[in-house]
Amino acid sequence: MSSHESSSHTGSKMSALMLGALGVVFGDIGTSPLYALKVSIEASGAKDSSEIAQAVYGVLSLIAWSLMFVVTVKYVLIIMRADNRGEGGVFALTALVSQSASKSRVGRWTVMVAGALGASLFFGDSMITPAISVLSAVEGLNVLSTDLQPFVVYIAIALITGLFAIERFGTAKIGKVFGPVMLVWFCVLGVLGLMKVLENPAVLLALNPFAGIHFLLNNPGVSIAILGSVVLAVTGGEALYADMGHFGLKPIQRAWLIVVFPALLLNYFGQGALLIGDPAALDNPFYRLAPSWALVPLLLLAFMATIIASQAVISGAFSIANQAVQLGYIPRLRIKHTSADEIGQVYVSKINIFLYLGVVALVLGFRNSESLASAYGISVTGAMAIDTLLAAYFMMFVKGWNKLVFFPVFIALFLVDSLFLGMNMFKFFEGGWLPVAVATLCLLLMISWVNGRERLLKARWTTAMKLSDFLDGLTRTAVHRVEGTAIFMVPHENIAPLALLHNLKHNKVIHERVILMNMEIVNIPYVKDNDRLDIRPLPHNFYSVHVRYGFMEEPHVMRAVALLRARQFHFSLMEISFFVGKEKVVAKHSSPMLLAPFIFMHRAMQGATEYFKIPFDHAVEIGGHIEL
């Protein structure tokens, strides 16, 4: 193949990845022009044409430089370089940092809490984004006719219900249309904005960063409200990092710099140019950009864009939940992979129901995007601040970036995050309490689970028999062996599983071949099949098999068995029996309330048979109980 043909294929692949990224990564931040500028200018309290014009220059400057500093510099140029073998997101970053902090219990728990808090804030964001995006799009009906106002909430709920109903089918089949639709969306954003900018090019003076600073200094009474609203323009910026594993660093960087960033700037400045000439357009400056003949097509396109944006955020919540399960932050959940080609496309029914109920409650409670904007921001800015702290530690203390150069950079980034977070905290009683409450509940449940899981493992060690002692006992005592292979799922390789002990006690037999299989989720996204298994022969035809899965993978015991057959064992699948311990956890009288959340989650979680995809007709569950 010639170099020209090779570069052509490479270019085609890059274009396809960029197009895919437009459909998945940029939906949230790409729909922010529907409401961000309007809410920010209204927050300034501007009333007459002169005040609105001043507010336009100041707010546009703040939005433009927030996009430049927070998204372009922080995420695109810096944080996205902190990848865990290509994967991004708060859990990938937590896994990277925990590898160096694991020597200290305090350090390990600090990193764990930071990662759990970041994920918890993301779940709060995952409820608000679909609600505000869909509501803001449907509110465009008011531009067509004010008589449609009473139907806005019900239409929004209908769209949201349809969105969550189709989640279980996954995005594998419809994902290919997301990219082209969002490409059209960004082109329309840019063209509509450019038309108004050409009519009033003076609006480009807002590119001066001092215009925003000057506006805040001249309006100290409303500066908190303004900054708390400006952050709406950068919501979704963290998705560039979280979804990096799906498309890679370069496609996302190029899509942002070539398509998304210019289109957003043009549209925001176009809305500003429109408001300078027609302050009355503040009722909905985004839709007022379009000529009357284009209003209905724009409305339909906005519907599609917000649905895509919401779907991407919901899918992100599924992905975060999947990673949380793999890393042991939450109990096992039923996780369905919806694509044979894209391993990151998963569906979690319990998370879907939880998010749907939360989104519907938000729409019914706030009823319009302007009110809902008050609840938006805290979760986003909190998650961004955590990303900055974890990335700063990883870059400077693990990767060895020059501290003299980058310490001031990360300090500046964290100060900006803290400023946005602090300003949004003033909206706590206006609705900001909601994502904080959701994040707090999720964080407490995660901490309770991690703490309870550690105590459970410790209790297992206290009551367990060492595997070496058990095998020594078999040497001294004759035990009847039966045909077949028994596979015991074990939490640790050095202790005899309770299921094995109970089976021997009650049935008085042991299979002729016994495999003790330990599944480990490691701090990398994916594990190659060559590195997946470690097989260690033991006395009496016992074998210890250590199976590794990445935190982005789905543990599947039959795939591990297939590798065992290919590598060493030549057994028939019909002769295999899986023995799974089914423990019942009870609390001691001294700490029933402390362990109540963990015990409830432990009893409600998905069983090991379902989680490891063990065939039911080959599974034997043996019960027991552990007191914590």
pLDDT digits (tens, 9 = 90+) for 131-175: 888 888 888 888 777 788 888 899 999 989 988 887 777 655 555
pLDDT digits (tens, 9 = 90+) for 449-493: 888 888 887 777 677 788 888 888 888 877 888 888 999 988 778
User: How many domains is the chain built from?
Assistant: 2
Provide the pLDDT for residue 183.
94
Q: What is the DSSP letter of 485?
A: E
What is the CB neighbour count within 10 angstroms for residue 454? 12
Residue 421 to residues 172, 231, 483, Cα–Cα distance (Å):
36, 9, 64
188 shares a domain with 134? yes
Provide the pLDDT for residue 133.
82
538 shares a domain with 594? yes
Report the distance separating Cα 579 and Cα 479, nearest Å. 18
530 shares a domain with 482? yes
- Where b means 16+ CB within 10 Å and e means fewer, 537-556 reads eeeeebbbbbbbbbbbbbbb
Q: Is residue 10 part of a domain?
A: no
What is the CB neighbour count within 10 angstroms for residue 100? 14
Provide the pLDDT for residue 308.
82
Has residue 8 got a pLDDT over 50?
no
What is the CB neighbour count within 10 angstroms for residue 279? 20
Place of tokens 């960029």: 18
| Strand arrangement, sheet containing 533-538 | 533-538, 542-550, 509-522, 480-489, 576-586, 619-627
Provide the pLDDT for residue 4.
41
Handedness of CA 184, 186, 191, 193 (dihedral sign): positive
Residue pair 43/222 in contact by the 8 Å Cβ criterion: yes
**Strand, helix or coil for residue 628:** coil
Residue ending a domain, among 419, 451, 483, is 451
Report the distance separating Cα 615 and Cα 448, nearest Å. 31
Between 260 and 316, whose confidence is greater? Answer: 260
pLDDT digits (tens, 9 = 90+) for 47-81: 888 888 899 999 999 999 999 999 999 999 999 88
Radius of gyration of the chain (CA): 28
105 shares a domain with 62? yes
- Where b means 16+ CB within 10 Å and e means fewer, 157-177 reads bebbeebbeebeebbeeebee
Largest distance between two CA atoms of the chain? 96
Has residue 556 got a pLDDT over 90?
no
**Residues in CB range of 15: below 8 A, 6 or more apart:** none
Residue pair 227/420 in contact by the 8 Å Cβ criterion: yes
Residue 63 to residues 44, 267, 302, 387, Cα–Cα distance (Å):
14, 12, 21, 21
Domain at 274, CATH number: 1.20.1740.10
Residue ending a domain, among 451, 473, 496, is 451
* Most confident option among 8-12, 214-218, 268-272, 473-477: 268-272
Residue ending a domain, among 426, 451, 476, is 451
Domain at 599, CATH number: 3.40.50
Report the distance separating Cα 172 and Cα 24, nearest Å. 12
Mean pLDDT of the chain: 84
Report the distance separating Cα 223 and Cα 217, nearest Å. 8
**Residues in CB range of 127: below 8 A, 6 or more apart:** 355, 358, 359, 362, 435, 438
Has residue 341 got a pLDDT over 70?
no
40 shares a domain with 168? yes
What are residue 535's DSSP bridge partners? 545
Between 4 and 510, whose confidence is greater? Answer: 510
Rounded to 5 degrees, what are φ and ψ at 549?
-130, 145
485 shares a domain with 410? no
Residue pair 56/204 in contact by the 8 Å Cβ criterion: no
Provide the pLDDT for residue 598.
83
Note down the domain range covering 41: 17-451
Q: Is residue 605 part of a domain?
A: yes
Q: Is residue 426 part of a domain?
A: yes
Q: Is residue 594 part of a domain?
A: yes
Place of tokens 């793999």: 326
472 shares a domain with 439? no
pLDDT digits (tens, 9 = 90+) for 282-298: 888 999 999 988 889 99
Report the distance separating Cα 233 and Cα 219, nearest Å. 20
Q: State the alpha helices, DSSP H only, in 25-151.
A: 27-30, 36-43, 49-66, 90-101, 105-138, 141-144
HEC readout, 349-389: HHHHHHHHHHHHHHHHHHCCHHHHCCCCCHHHHHHHHHHHH
Judged by phi (left if over 0) then psi (alpha if -120 to 50, else beta), residue 495 lies in beta
What are residue 550's DSSP bridge partners? 522
DSSP secondary structure of 548-610: EEETTS---HHHHHHHHHHHT----GGGEEEEEEEEEEE--TTSHHHHHHHHHHHHHSPPHHH
Q: At what angle do helices 223-230 and 209-218 cross, to 10 degrees?
A: 140
Between 92 and 216, whose confidence is greater? Answer: 216
What is the CB neighbour count within 10 angstroms for residue 139? 26
- pTM summary value: 0.78
Amino acid at 34: L
Per-residue pLDDT band at 19 (split at 50, 70, 90): confident
Report the distance separating Cα 387 and Cα 389, nearest Å. 6
Q: Is residue 457 part of a domain?
A: no
Has residue 358 got a pLDDT over 60?
yes
Q: What angle do CA 51, 279, 128 make, to 5 degrees?
A: 90
Report the distance separating Cα 306 and Cα 327, nearest Å. 31
**Residues in CB range of 100: below 8 A, 6 or more apart:** 397, 398
Q: What is the β-pairing status of strands 576-586 and 619-627?
A: parallel
351 shares a domain with 256? yes
Q: What is the DSSP letter of 483?
A: E
83 shares a domain with 215? yes
pLDDT digits (tens, 9 = 90+) for 184-195: 999 999 999 999
Q: Residue 25 CA to chain centroid, in angstroms? A: 11
483 shares a domain with 428? no
Q: Is residue 172 part of a domain?
A: yes
Q: Is residue 21 part of a domain?
A: yes
Residue pair 626/583 in contact by the 8 Å Cβ criterion: yes
Number of helices (H) and strands (E), helices first, in the chain? 27, 8
516 shares a domain with 393? no
Q: Is residue 589 part of a domain?
A: yes
Q: Residue 32 CA to chain centroid, in angstroms? A: 19
Per-residue pLDDT band at 9 (split at 50, 70, 90): very low
Provide the pLDDT for residue 103.
61
487 shares a domain with 382? no
Report the distance separating Cα 625 and Cα 380, nearest Å. 42
